[in-house]
Amino acid sequence: MLFLPIATKTVDGSEAKIYTNGLHHYVEGKTGKVLNIEVTLPLLISNIVVALICFLNIFNYKKRSFQKRFAIVSIILVGGFAFWCSIYAKELPGGIEGASFGVGAYLPALAILFIVLAIFGINKDERLIRSAERLR
């Protein structure tokens, strides 16, 4: 989500795009398009933190119960981050009505789907280990 727009809106010949690092406003000027950026550092930092938490959960494979709980926390964090992005998207000039949503708007849903699939895989590994222990 760092490089993909969340939402885009064109108003009066100027284009505004919402990214997690800020609002990029392209204004038509005498020298062509001028870029004004309003930086949102808290949203950018939370995006990086949520991505790191999801990535670090991969390396907890020796502690499966902790990994599952951490995955559930990751789902909650990604959902909260998506909600925060939707609130921030309302800062587009003229509101969110008439805006076209970019790929970045759908990535949190995809992340939640992959985390849920990871939880199913962890459960499958636990069942396999329990069955292997019974055979001993």
Q: How far apart are CA 77 and CA 54, in angstroms?
A: 10
Give the model's pLDDT for residue 1.
85
Cβ atoms within 10 Å of 123's Cβ, excluding its own? 12
81-113: b (≥16 Cβ within 10 Å) or e: bbebbeebbeebeeeeeebeebebbebbeebbe
Chunk the chain into consecutive blocks of 10 residues (it has 136) and report each block's average pLDDT, rounded to whole numbers.
Answer: 88 84 79 76 92 92 91 95 89 84 91 95 91 77
Q: Does some domain include residue 92?
A: yes
Q: How far apart are CA 86 and CA 25, in angstroms?
A: 18
Q: Does some domain include residue 30?
A: yes
Closest CA to 16 of 114, 88, 123: 88
Q: Does some domain include residue 39?
A: yes
**Residues 120 and 21: beta-carbon distance below 8 Å:** no
Give the model's pLDDT for residue 37.
81
Would the CA dihedral through 92, 100, 85, 5 be positive or negative?
Answer: negative
Give the model's pLDDT for residue 31.
64
Give the model's pLDDT for residue 81.
94
Structure tokens at 34: 């001028």
Give the model's pLDDT for residue 74.
95
Q: Does some domain include residue 58?
A: yes
Q: Does some domain include residue 84?
A: yes
Total count of domains within the chain: 1
Point out which residues pair with 14 in neighbouring strands: 11
Q: Does some domain include residue 2?
A: no
Q: How far apart are CA 124 and CA 27, in angstroms?
A: 53
Q: Does some domain include residue 120?
A: yes
Domain holding 18, by residue range, is 7-135
Give the model's pLDDT for residue 15.
84
